[in-house]
Structures are given as C-alpha cells and as structure tokens.
Amino acid sequence: MEHLRRFVRELLKALRNLLPIVLVVVLFQLLVFQSMPDDPVTLAVGLLVVAVGIALFLYGLDLSVFPVGKNLANQFVRRGALSLLLPFGFAIGFAASIAEPAVIAVAEQAQLVSDGRIDSLVLRFVIATSVGLVLILGILRVLRGWAVHKLLIGGYALALLLSFVAPREIIGLAYDSGGVTTNIVSVPLIAAIGLGLANSIRGRSLLADGFGLVALCVMVPMIGVQLYGIWVYTFGGAGAGAVAESGGGAGISVLGVILGLAETFREVLPIVAVVLFFQFVALRRRLSHPVRVVVGFAMVVVGLHAFVMGLKLGLFPLGRVMAEQLIEQGMPVLILLFALLIGFATTMAEPALVAIGEQAHEASPGKISASGIRIIVAVGVALGIAFGVYRILVGGPFHYFIMSAYLLAMVLVIFAPKYIVPLAFDLGGVTTSEVTVPLVTALGIGLARAIEGRDVLIDGFGLIAFASIFPVISVMIYAIMMERFPRLRKEVS
C-alpha cells in the first residue's frame, strides 16, 4: 500500500506539472481560436500517458538508480578516491545523458527534420560524451577550487566562436542540446556529486563551489554538437531519409509496445550498468535492497517507454497544432503571448527548479529567497521563449540572436556577486523540463514549417537555448539588484 500511495503522489505531481500547459492551451482554444483540436481524445490520452510515464520513471529512479548512485558518490568523496571519482563522474554523466528523455526527444526530431542526415543515436553519443568529459572538469574544479565563472567565460567564448564556422543547420540544435542535457535523470546525480564534494572539503562554499556542475554540463554539449555538425555537413553524406514518426497504429499495438520496451531497455541499460559496475567491482559492496532496485529499474524502463509514446500521441501533435492555429490568426502578438504564458506556467511548476531553489536558500540564509528565485527564473524562461519565437517570426541568423544573449550574460558575470554565478547557470540548466522541452521543440518546428521562407532545421530549433540563457540573465540581474538595494530583498522574499 505504501508503494501505491507513493506512486499516486508521483502521478498527481506529474499531472500538476502538466496542468499549466493544459490551462494555457484550453484558454487559447476557447477564447482565441474558438474551436477544439481535431482529435482531442487522442491528445488527452497522450498527455495522460506522458503523466503516467513520468510518474513510473521518477518513482523507479527513487527506488533504484538514485539511492545507489548517491551512495556511490558519497563513498568516493569520503574515501578521497580520485582515481575512482573521475571515471565515475564521466561514466554517470555519459550514461545519464544517453538515457535522458528530453535528449532522446530532441535527437529524434533532429533526425526527422534533417531527412536522416543528423543521426539521432550519434547525436546522443556526442551529447553524452560531452557531459561525461565536463563532469571530470567540474569535479576537478571543486577539488582544486577553480572559479567557475572563468571556465564559463572561456567555454562560452569557444561556443560562440564556433557559431561563426558551424553550419547554420546545426547551430540552433547545438544550443538546444545544451539545454536538454540536464533534466530528470542527470540533475539529482550531478547536484549530489557537486554538493557532496563541496561539503566534504574544508574551505569550500556550498553556494559558490557546490553549484556549477550543472552549468558546465549545459555548456560543453553546445561545443560538441557544433563540432559534430561541422563534420557531418563537411564530410557526411546526404542522409538516408527521414525516420517516420510512429503514431497511433503500430506504436500502440502489442507488438509495438514489446519492441518499444526492448528498445527502451537497451537505452536505459548504460546508467544501470555504470552504477552496478562501480558498486560491485570498484567498491566491492553488495546492494542493500536488491529486489527494490530490480523493481525500480523495471519501472524506469516502462515509464520511459510510456513517456516517449505519450509524446508522440500528445505533446508533439499539440505543439504543431497550436503553431498552425497561431499562424492562421495572423497576429504575431498572440504567438508571443502564448510563448510567454507557456514559459512562465511550466517553469513555476518545474520540480527540479523547486528543489534547486530550496537548496540554494538553505545554503545561503538571508541571501536567496526560494520563492523569489522561482518567480525570477520563470520570468526569464517566459521572456526567453518569447524572444526565440520573435526570432522565428522576423527571421535572421540564429547565432546573432543567441550571441547577444550570451554576451549579455558574460558581461553580467563580471558585475554579479560571485556566489550567484554558479547557481544562476545551474538554474538555467534545470528550467527546461521533460514536459516543456517536447512542447517547445514542437512549437518551434511548427512555426518554422508554417511561416514562408523559414527552414525547419535552421529556424525550428533554438527556443530551448533561449529558455536556458534568459533565466541566467534574470537571476544575475536579480542578485545585482539585491546587493545594490537590500530593501528589495525583503520585499521579494
């Protein structure tokens, strides 16, 4: 009964996270479009399947991967085993990213709209390798006491320089890839490693040193994917054609479900293999609750498959339908209003943001308000998505728009209090959730398809990138204002 109650709580939480999206869509359908989608039942079923998938996935992680992974990180930190900690950091970063639902969703969309020239599996390997390598760098940063803002400035300078030579078709996708690497699989494990290291080393600050790993995991995939794009569009072939989207028919048949579960098992297996390898081989310790771990792993596989299936039934079609309807209205202001509302509503309900905000508040009594930081971040995401939609509407090179945002962020890094910089970039990495990413990606692709003169691959991606960097800007501006005008701190909190 206890397990059933916990699952119901996870399901209600997932439904609550979906509720803001549903409310915004219903309001627009009734008040603006004055119509309903062609197949509302299928969309509703898809959204429900997404919620069930998320609940199973998260509960399975809580039973299996998370407790074992966090225990491993704590054991390495306590033993001071750098020779084990660095390989564990790479392996867990790689395995978590390769199984990340949002990464899978974006990679499949990239392969689809590029007619197969961008291979979804190769793209996921590039992103996962980037995250693994940067976790090694992040762990060394905490151990050596390197300032995170210097690494961020250097890394983003390289990413921006690559934008001048990378193919236009890959730039938006590259910046989006950075925004989707840190989500429901990776954030808890990555945050646990960073905070555990900072807490165990004398002279380290939880706020300045414990945060920042997530920020680095957002940055480096942008570089890796641009390098992959340069290779593909210079030496690669024309592609083998788009992979057909699986929809209702075969996708929900018994055979389709079995094949899908087998494929999902293969995708999730790396993170489980990494955890078990380090548990049994490196530490030579038995699992505390083996039955619970096995059941949790099975729930992860079933939940992830249900999540992906629900995306194809519900969120992806919903994003395309909304984009088409908004374009038909011929009123750009409505499109921008929809982008603002979707960005703010989904971010306020994002559980990872709530968790990080509370941790930041506990790590900095009197400096950071958990509720205040959520509002500031939600405003940043809303403005970021609206800015990205504006770029699609007016046209223009993506890299000029994103460069202006990142250059502003780099300038703010110089003036912002140093304790806020790692947290600000971490918050930018957790704002794009497993629900928001598919909808926003579908919205961008739908707008690019509907507007004459736009290229789906060049213009359809990039919204996630703006949704990731604008919260960074808003949080640093917030911190600067709090330092300059202490009275505002009391009013916001």
Which distant-in-sequence residues (6+ apart) come within 8 Å of 311 by Cβ?
Answer: 46, 50, 105, 438
Q: Euclidean distance between the first and final Cα of the chain, in Å?
A: 39
Residue 64 has pLDDT above 60, yes or no: yes
d(CA 106, CA 254): 26
DSSP 387-451: HHHHHHHH---HHHHHHHHHHHHHHHHHHS-TTHHHHHHHHHHHSS-TTHHHHHHHHHHHHHHHS
146-191: per-residue pLDDT in tens?
Answer: 888 888 888 888 988 998 888 888 888 888 887 777 665 566 667 7
3-class SS at 368? Answer: coil
Q: Assign 70 a pLDDT band (cuts: 50, 70, 90).
A: low
d(CA 250, CA 485): 60
Residue among 473, 466, 455, 465 nearest 174 (CA): 465
Token duo for residue 315: 């969120």
Task: Give me the pLDDT at residue 230, please.
Answer: 92
Q: Assign 73 a pLDDT band (cuts: 50, 70, 90).
A: low
Task: Give me the pLDDT at residue 364, please.
Answer: 63
359-406: per-residue pLDDT in tens?
Answer: 677 766 566 676 788 889 989 999 999 999 999 988 888 878 888 998
Whether residue 296 contacts residue 64, with contact meaning beta carbons closer than 8 Å, is answered with yes
Rounded to 10 degrees, what is the CA torsion of 368, 407, 221, 93? Answer: -20
Whether residue 218 contacts residue 176, with contact meaning beta carbons closer than 8 Å, is answered with no
Residue 107 has pLDDT above 80, yes or no: yes
d(CA 303, CA 54): 6
d(CA 473, CA 175): 16
More confident residue, 298 or 37: 298
Q: Which of 129-138, 258-267, 347-356 has the lowest mean pLDDT?
A: 347-356
Residue 491 has pLDDT above 70, yes or no: no
More confident residue, 340 or 29: 340
d(CA 284, CA 85): 15
395-443: per-residue pLDDT in tens?
Answer: 888 878 888 998 899 899 888 888 788 888 888 877 766 666 777 777 7
Mean pLDDT value across residues 270-299? 81
Mean pLDDT value across residues 323-343? 82
Q: Residue 472, CB half-sphere, CA atoms under 13 Å: how many?
A: 30
188-226: per-residue pLDDT in tens?
Answer: 667 767 777 777 677 776 666 777 787 788 888 999 999
Neighbour tally for 253: CB within 10 Å: 12
Q: Which of 10-19, 113-122, 247-256, 304-313 has the lowest mean pLDDT?
A: 247-256
Task: Give me the pLDDT at residue 94, please.
Answer: 87
Whether residue 97 contacts residue 131, with contact meaning beta carbons closer than 8 Å, is answered with yes
Distances (CA, A) of 482 to 116, 327, 416: 49, 40, 10
Alpha helices in 203-253 (DSSP H): 213-235
Task: Give me the pLDDT at residue 408, please.
Answer: 93
